[in-house]
């Protein structure tokens, strides 16, 4: 749900959507709390729910459209939205709705939380599909990593006083080391924003309700995970999809990390173990370049928290 003013569905998007699914009986703003996010939860006259998403720019629209057409079907029925229609002129996508609540809004009991991360790992492994990686995708994944390392100086310049000289040196060392690992990292079709807010959980817990750490007698850790928001999906090293989890819910939760990789079906390679903390440092620099200018305090906080962990010698906690 958006914060501040409610974003109204433009008439042109409504006309387009109704041509595809019929008259809309309900429309709700479902945007993220940032100016460029434009998403509406709509209901058709027959009671079916859909989402209309208007991308912020052509690059994000093309990435998300390609992701839904090429990689997302591998996740299986009910595990991700299905692309119904697109409109390149309006940068719009019409998507089916999948049930669930973002894991980030839930306080899940231990078994449920681990089950969610185990399923997250299994779904990302399907999405990554490295066995079927086309040659062009492998080249694109390599180029993406090089660009990421090259962008470090730009991010350091924009971060300004938020970055001490020690932290700048840490980020630069990380960029240099990532370049040396380029040929050793498995390429993949990544989600690009794999974090708990983009993982929907259908289970016994509900938003805002705190539940016990263990299920009641006879209750198993049940539930199903679905993944949403593919506007940053692209070819890149698979390890990049683990960065936001390592910088977020896996902190001090080795059980969640272990459950994820159990679902993923393989551990990190030696190269990925080296790359993950380096990518976390580069992500932190990006956070400090972007967050303050856009009023996204959670992004800024993630960057500062990550750098503090790395600076304190907690390098190994990321892997």
pLDDT in tens, 74-119: 999 999 999 999 999 999 999 999 999 999 999 999 999 999 999 9
Distances (CA, A) of 1 to 7, 36, 63, 89, 207: 10, 13, 23, 25, 14
Q: Given pLDDT bands bounded at 50, 70 and 90, which one contains residue 214?
A: very low
313: left (phi over 0), alpha (psi -120 to 50) or beta: left
Please, which pLDDT band fits residue 208 given cuts at 50, 70 and 90?
very low
- Checking if the pLDDT of 63 tops 60, the result is yes
Tokens of 220: 């198993």
Q: Among 130-139, 141-150, 306-315, which stretch is predicted with the lowest mean pLDDT?
A: 130-139
Residues whose CB falls within 8 Å of the CB of residue 188, separated by 6 or more in sequence, listed in order: 127, 128, 129, 130, 133, 141, 235, 236, 237, 238, 241
- 91, 76 Cβ separation under 8 angstroms: no
**pLDDT tens by residue, 223-267:** 999 999 999 999 999 999 999 999 999 998 999 999 999 999 999
- Across residues 193-215, what is the average pLDDT? 67
End-to-end, the C-alpha distance of the chain in Å comes to 33
pLDDT of residue 210: 40
Please identify which residue in the block is written with the tokens 């093309």: 62
pTM listed for this prediction: 0.90
The pair phi, psi for residue 112, each rounded to 5°, is -65, -45
Residue length of the chain:
319
CA dist 15 and 24 (Å) reads: 10
* Whole-number Å distance between alpha carbons of 251 and 238: 20
CB 268 within 8 A of CB 245: no
> CB-side exposure of 153: number of CA atoms within 13 Å?
4
In whole angstroms, what is the distance from residue 234 CA to residue 128 CA?
A: 10
């Amino acid at each position: 749900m958006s914060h501040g003013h409610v974003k109204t569905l433009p008439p042109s998007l409504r006309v387009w959507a109704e041509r595809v699914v019929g008259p809309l009986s309900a429309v709700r703003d479902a945007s993220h709390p940032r100016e460029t996010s434009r998403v509406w939860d709509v209901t058709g006259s027959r009671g079916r729910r859909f989402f209309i998403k208007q991308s912020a720019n052509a690059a994000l629209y093309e990435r998300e459209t390609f992701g839904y057409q090429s990689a997302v079907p591998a996740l299986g029925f009910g595990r991700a939205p299905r692309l119904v229609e697109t409109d390149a002129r309006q940068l719009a996508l019409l998507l089916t709705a999948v049930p669930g609540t973002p894991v980030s809004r839930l306080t899940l009991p231990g078994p449920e939380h681990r089950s969610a991360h185990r399923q997250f790992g299994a779904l990302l492994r399907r999405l990554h599909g490295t066995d079927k990686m086309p040659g062009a995708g492998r080249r694109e994944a390599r180029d993406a990593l090089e660009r990421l390392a090259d962008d470090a100086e730009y991010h350091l310049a924009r971060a300004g006083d938020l970055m001490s000289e020690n932290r700048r040196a840490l980020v630069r060392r990380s960029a240099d080391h990532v370049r040396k690992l380029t040929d050793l990292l498995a390429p993949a079709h990544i989600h690009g924003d794999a974090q708990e807010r983009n993982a929907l959980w259908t289970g016994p817990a509900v938003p805002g309700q705190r539940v016990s750490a263990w299920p009641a007698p006879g209750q198993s850790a049940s539930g199903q995970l679905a993944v949403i928001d593919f506007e940053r999906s692209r070819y890149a090293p698979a390890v990049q999809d683990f960065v936001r989890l390592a910088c977020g819910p896996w902190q001090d939760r080795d059980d969640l990390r272990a459950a994820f990789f159990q679902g993923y079906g393989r551990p990190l390679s030696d190269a990925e173990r080296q790359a993950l903390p380096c990518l976390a440092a580069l992500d932190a620099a990006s956070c400090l370049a972007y967050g303050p200018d856009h009023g996204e305090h959670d992004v800024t906080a993630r960057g500062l928290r990550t750098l503090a962990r790395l600076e304190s010698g907690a390098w190994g906690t990321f892997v």
